[in-house]
Amino acid sequence: MLPNNEESTSLLGLYQPCTGVRLNLAVDSEGSVAGVTGSSNDVSNQLDRTLLVALRKQSDIIVTSGATARVENLRASKYAPIAVLSESGRLDGLERLLTTDDALPVTLIVPTPVAAQTRVALLNARLSAKVVGLPNLEPSSVRFFLEQEGFKKILLEVGPTLVQLWLTAGAIDEVCLTTTGVQLPSADRVSYLPRDFVSKGSQNLLSSFYSDDQKSRFERIGLGA
């Protein structure tokens, strides 16, 4: 079902640009972020994807992981550059992301010891990306680097492991959470977050919207004091 224009307009009017790190996440009614395909498409819907585009347009940079880029089969965006966090510097499964024409640049952020070999691998594979080596890929280090580079509005699109890591580190300022009307069968839930993955004591509900058409709730949750 396609979202109606009235719902889309009402929803998107609640989302202003966010300075800092904004996590965007869709889950089903049980907290699953993906099903058997491993992709968020298993739990997303058309209105949620409309919101994703809007959030990307508001961002200075999109941050994802190598694992997420692979399962989502990401391509480079025309709305904001993408930075991919990769402990290994592996390029397999990222070919589509690193060869998309008419899109903004992609940066691979890797640990310093693997930066040189990643550059060589890119050259040999005839793929295109900027490679940045950092001493570590801890959230605070990545955020500091991006902000020093002038990226103030950072959109985080990652899976459950990095969601928990960035939340625990206190490196996320806002969570954009879509709880869709999808309910995956128990056997198909391969990736999920606990219902209370955002600590109740640290959150402030900035806005909430319920779509009758899509049977989904959209929440903006501010974190911190």
Going by their DSSP bridges, the two strands 191-192 and 32-34 should be labelled as antiparallel
Residue 2's pLDDT is 54
Domain annotation for the chain: domains and CATH numbers: 19-60+155-195+202-225 (3.40.430.10), 65-151 (3.40.50)
* Mean pLDDT (10-residue bins), the chain, 225 residues: 79 96 91 79 89 97 96 94 97 93 92 98 95 98 98 96 93 94 69 71 87 92 80
Tokens of 81: 């550059």
Residue partners of 125: CB distance under 8 A and separation at least 6: 91, 95
194 exposure class (CB count in 10 Å sphere: 0-12, 13-18, 19+): exposed
Q: What is the pLDDT of residue 19?
A: 96
pTM score > 0.85 for this model? yes
What pLDDT is stored for residue 225 in this prediction?
52
Q: Calculate the CA 19 to chain-centre distance.
A: 16
CA dihedral (141, 129, 56, 142) in degrees, to 10, reads 0
